[in-house]
A = this chain, B = another copy of it.
Amino acid sequence: MQLDFQKSGGLVPAIIQDERTGDVLMLGFMNASALSETQRTGEVVFFSRSRNKLWKKGESSGHVLKVREVRVDCDSDALLVRVEPIGPGVCHEGYRSCFFRSMDGDGNAAVIAERVFDPEKIYGAGKSR
């Protein structure tokens, strides 16, 4: 099958879901090369829009995402990657999920999760995620 990479400028959004708990952990983007590397290695590789290059999740922290299943949506323009996350959390701010804040109807955000690791110790200064 062909994915539609054109709608988002050569990228598809990739939702990362913990296969065991069903929790949504993060959202990244993949280009064709990132998807190919993800499939080849069995660990999630994104395309970083801010750094404009491939970004293996966990390359410095060791918090890699082991791919258990890749699902594709009806329009072939979004991926759902079901993973086994290695390590305590995926978020560079020290949370298990990047979606650690809840937003109310007025746009105010509140933290709803516990920090599970100290990001300074894992990432330090200047390290990638």
Give me the interface of A with B, judged by CB distance under 8 Å.
1, 7-8, 13, 15, 17, 21-24, 26-27, 39-40, 49, 69-75, 78, 80, 91-93, 95, 98-103, 105, 107-109, 112
**A91:B103 contact, CB within 8 angstroms:** no
Question: Taking the nearest CB of chain B, how far is it from the CB of A19, in angstroms?
Answer: 11
Instruction: Give bound CA distance, A102 to B19, whole Å.
Output: 14
**B99:A72 contact, CB within 8 angstroms:** yes
A24 in complex: contacting residue of B8, B21, B24, CB < 8 Å: B24
What are the residues of chain B within 8 A of A13 when measuring CB–CB?
13, 27
Instruction: Give bound CA distance, A102 to B98, whole Å.
Output: 24
A101 in complex: contacting residue of B15, B71, B103, B108, CB < 8 Å: B71
**A91:B72 contact, CB within 8 angstroms:** no
Question: Taking the nearest CB of chain B, how far is it from the CB of A102, in angstroms?
Answer: 5
Instruction: Give bound CA distance, A107 to B79, whole Å.
Output: 12
Residue on B nearest A67 in the bound complex, by CB: B105
